[in-house]
Structure 1
């Protein structure tokens, strides 16, 4: 199994509810990618994968979890000068938020 040929930092967010805000702080421009467990697996195998986020030019970056499930954040230096120092904070979804019906 090959790995991405650039450095990255991985955060396993475990199970998160839809609407939860993921706040990522960085000390340099890097890519911030929020992805599901199957997409993280594809990322580590250097296959096509889907994610929310992209190039983070400002810190902190806030991303909303679109659906309940097991989520991962990857901060990576692909296309940038070096790997940023990063920190992730999980901000709980508002308690009064209505769960959207399954589609």
Structure 2
């Protein structure tokens, strides 16, 4: 399965990330370790996010844990920047 991903690491609930998309629309998914592995295995999984055609996208970590950010799109046509938002 071709996708872009970022291993964000451990974050407390409430942490926020800004995702800037250029070149294509995309499904942007924030997943914990268990759901990311299910995604890779082709099993059922849950994620926080959605399909976006407007940028930037701001996603909030819903609970404490280890997180991955996945961007499903045509990886040859999209450029993505990810940054943590600090208050």
Q: In the TM superposition, what are the counterparts of 1:51-70 in structure 2 within 5 Å?
A: 51-70=47-66
- CA RMSD after TM alignment: 1.1
Q: Give 5+ residue unaligned stretches, structure 2.
A: none
Q: Which has the higher contact order (CA 8 A, sep 6+)?
A: 2
- TM-score when normalising by structure 1: 0.77
Q: SS where residue 66 of structure 1 aligns? A: coil
Matched residue pairs, number? 84
Instruction: Compute the TM-score of the two structures, normalised by the length of structure 2.
Output: 0.90
Structure ranking higher in strand proportion: 2
Deviations 1:33-78 (A, max 9, x none): 001011000000011000011111111100110101101000012x
The runs of at least 4 consecutive aligned structure 1 residues that moved more than 2 Å come to none
Query: Which of residues 21, 25, 34 is equivalent to 1:29?
Result: 25
Larger Rg: 1
Which consecutive residues of structure 1, in runs of 5 or more, have no partner in the other structure? Answer: 95-103
Partners of 1:24 and 1:89 in 2: CA distance: 7
